[in-house]
Structure 1
Amino acid sequence: MASPRHRGSPQDLNTCLPRILLLLALLVTSAHGIVSSLEECLVLRSAEGSTVSCYSVPRFPSPLPDDTVHLSVEFSNLTELPPRALQTCKRLRELHLSSNRLRELPQQLLAPVRGLQVLDLTHNELRGLPPELFHYSAALRTLVLRDNQLQDARVTWLWGLRSLEHLDLAKNRLRALPRGFLISLTYLSTLDLGHNLLETLPHGLLLGPSRLQRLHLEGNRLRRLGLGTFGPQPFLRVLFLNDNQLTEVVDSTFWNLRELDMLDLSNNSLSSIPPRLFASLGRPARDMQDGFDLSHNPWVCNEDLRDLYRWLQDNKHKMFSKNDTRCAGPEALKGRRLLDVVDLESL
């Protein structure tokens, strides 16, 4: 099976498709004279409200139509926003501010838009968030902060996000997460913390979210997964832990993840794992529908891997990168495919 990292994500397509369709609609309606201008922006009016799209503009658009429901101000060089930028947009549902140079956000920016459901701040220069930014954002479902410069996470960042389902904090500079960071995010289903600088995870990190289905932790500096790292997550289906520095995983790490369908532990520093680490995963308990990857680890193929070898034999039909899952030792077995070391069966 091909590695999961090389497969296209349907979620990425679903995120981009509405934006592409919107741009096409704007072009078509502009040709028919339906679109009016708001300085350098395009305004598409409909019975549901106005959609305002601004690209490569020198300043935040103003005044905005009172019935604005979708606002995009992207691919510009905005470094700041007026504190009352959204004062007239009380019906706003989506706000896209990606690919600017925003360094900070006004604390009361979102206060007027209490029905906001989507906020995209991808690819800016944010280093922190005001403590009460989301105080009035109980309706927000999607928050994208990917590719910023966020460093010192605070518990107060996420206060007020009672309906949040999708949180993307990937590609920042987060080194640690405080205890209780996610405690109020009961409805969270997707969490992306990939490609940060995390070296450890706080005990009980996932206390709070009870409906998590997808968790990204790849591309960090994690060295150990300890007791209570994930806690009971009965709906978690996808877990990315690849491209870290893991050398140790305690035996109970995955025991409460009984619905896990995809696990990526590739490109770490694992030489062995505890017996029965995967007892609740895959066969004979259940089939992992989307597969697993243990490749590019320095496995030492001795009696400590006997349990893993037997589990791999039962689940090899769901195994990615079989040819890259090899022994790093002992010397006599160095370079051999782990699946081919039949001597492990009799140890």
Structure 2
Amino acid sequence: MTRVLMLSLWLILLATQQAGVDARAAAGNIERISLGETARTISCPSATEIHPCACRVMKKGLDIVCDHADEKHVRNALDVLKKKPFTIFWMKFRNCKLQRIADYVFLGLDVRHLNIIRSNVSAIERSSLSALGSTIEALDLANNNIREVPTAALAMLKMLTFLNLNYNQIQVLTEGAFAGLRSLERLSLYENKIQHIHNNAFKDIGRKLMRLNLGKNNLDDIPTDAFHPLVNLEVLDLHENRIRHIPDNAFQGLTKLDMLKLEHNLITTIQDNVFSDLSVLNSLNIEHNHIVNVSDRAFAGLESNLEWLEMGNNRLDHIPSHALRPLHNLRQLDLDANKITELSEDAFKGYGDTIKYILLDKNRITHIPPLAFVDLHSLEWLKLSHNEITTSTEDTVQPILDTVTMIDVSKNPLICNCDLLWLRRWVSNPNNKDPAEEMECVTTDQKAHNIKNLPVQEFNCPLHLTTSKQPSPSSAAVLACSPVLTAVAIASTLL
């Protein structure tokens, strides 16, 4: 009996202790973590101990945030945390005064993600990060004053998968700049001042790198030899540099590249075979360059996989159909803001089974020939806004009307006549998407009207056709021979 009573008391005491722990955990400063068959409780230091830093408990460890702190307060907070043997899942220093990251400053800490951003860092000592070598997975040093890659300090970080050095002052990537980072998967160097990349800059970086961002730097050339070792790279970002030319074999070895970004450079020509090594490339962005010429075999090697091609904001005066036609999996073609003046009847021949989006806004197109869209069996969006088109007949768009859900011819000098009556009917269909701007046409009195709201009579179709309910056999024969009259007869149902 005594044993039963003692066992009952012990169970009650255990339940009471558990309830207390659960209550404190709910308050956000304690968490129980299962470790196999055992469990331990983690907790934050008191707010006064680590002020001005703050702490909260997460499932995977502590989240430490230090805003507007100086070096003295940071060191004090770290000393307090070293007495707590818990994983720090996030450690963030933001807008602090930390010119130098001193040697062994993190000794005794287990940190998985370390952010030191906007904190005036200009020097990172050799052994400053060494204590984190076996634990840290992500390091963010963006928006500081770092002038060179801290190679020696980084070399110890064997588990690092993400390194962010954006918005610093780095000018050169030296030989072996990232040596030792065997697990690195993502590297971002956006908006530095990089002018030169050594041929062996990425030597010994490991074969896991999948994403490399070198956007908004001062590169005049594509560092061809430097990229060759990056055999598992999937995304390469070179936008907003000063690149004028894509050399042959520029991307040799990048057989797994899925996305290439070259927008906002100074490229003038896309010559034959420059992308031929990129056999699995899915997305290519070369908009906002100075491209005037695209060679017939410019996209050789991309035939099977390229789906997204952006060539807007260049200087093309025609659609490079011969270069585009082999791309039999193309889904989007963006040619907006070029200098294209006309569409040939075979401009899109061969794209029919895959292409869904064609963007031709902000060109100088005046006329669309009757057979221009005849092969576009999968088209969903057609954007022709901000051109110089005055009319478009139903015959021209008939091949795409079964699939297209967006037609945008806004900001064109369209004339409100019978040829345009099909467009009124189309925009009145609630299943179709409205363009961003209203589509208007101009009547004979030179007034602009919203096509959707303009009465059918204003399209100046013959009245006897719009009022006839059942055409006679003779008039039916005439209708069958006249696409314009056919449109008028159908429009009579809208009156």
With normalisation by structure 2, the TM-score equals 0.55
The reply to whether residue 200 of structure 1 matches residue 269 of structure 2 is yes
| Identity over aligned pairs, percent | 23
Q: What residue number does 1:95 align with? A: 163
The 3 A distance-change label for structure 1 pair 45 and 177 is farther
The 3 A distance-change label for structure 1 pair 243 and 281 is same
C-alpha offsets along residues 208-257 of structure 1, whole Å, 9 cap, x if unaligned?
11111111111000012111111142121111110001124443221222
> Rg bigger for which structure?
2
**Match for 1:236 among 302, 306, 323?**
306
Count of residue correspondences: 309
The 3 A distance-change label for structure 1 pair 66 and 287 is closer
Shift of 1:279: 1.6
With normalisation by structure 1, the TM-score equals 0.77
In structure 2, what residue type is equivalent to 1:128?
H
Is the 1:60–1:73 contact (alpha carbons within 8 Å) kept by the matching residues of 2? no
Q: What residue number does 1:150 align with? A: 219
Q: CA RMSD in A?
A: 3.6
Q: How does 1:124-273 map to 2 (within 5 A)?
A: 124-137=192-205, 138-233=207-302, 234-273=304-343
Q: Gaps spanning 5+ residues in structure 1: where?
A: 1-22
The 3 A distance-change label for structure 1 pair 51 and 28 is closer
Q: What residue number does 1:6 align with? A: none
Shift of 1:161: 0.6
The 3 A distance-change label for structure 1 pair 342 and 280 is farther
In structure 2, what residue type is equivalent to 1:126?
I
- Distance in 2 of aligned mates of 1:206 and 1:37: 41
Shift of 1:277: 2.8
C-alpha offsets along residues 304-333 of structure 1, whole Å, 9 cap, x if unaligned?
x44326568x7774113x44243399xxxx
Q: Indicate the SS of the match to 1:171.
A: coil
Q: Gaps spanning 5+ residues in structure 2: where?
A: 1-55, 66-79, 392-410, 421-482, 485-495
Is the 1:295–1:326 contact (alpha carbons within 8 Å) kept by the matching residues of 2? no
C-alpha offsets along residues 60-81 of structure 1, whole Å, 9 cap, x if unaligned?
2642122232111111011123
Is the 1:276–1:307 contact (alpha carbons within 8 Å) kept by the matching residues of 2? yes
The 3 A distance-change label for structure 1 pair 287 and 217 is closer
- Distance in 2 of aligned mates of 1:199 and 1:136: 34
Q: What residue number does 2:490 align with? A: none
Q: How does 1:1-347 map to 2 (within 5 A)?
A: 29-30=63-64, 35=88, 40=98, 50-55=112-117, 56=119, 57-60=121-124, 62-64=127-129, 65-67=132-134, 68-137=136-205, 138-233=207-302, 234-282=304-352, 285-286=353-354, 288=356, 291-301=357-367, 305-308=369-372, 310=374, 317-320=380-383, 322-327=384-389, 336-337=413-414
- Distance in 2 of aligned mates of 1:45 and 1:207: 48
Is the 2:278–2:301 contact (alpha carbons within 8 Å) kept by the matching residues of 1? no
**Larger relative contact order, structure 1 or 2 (CA cutoff 8 Å, min sep 6):** 1
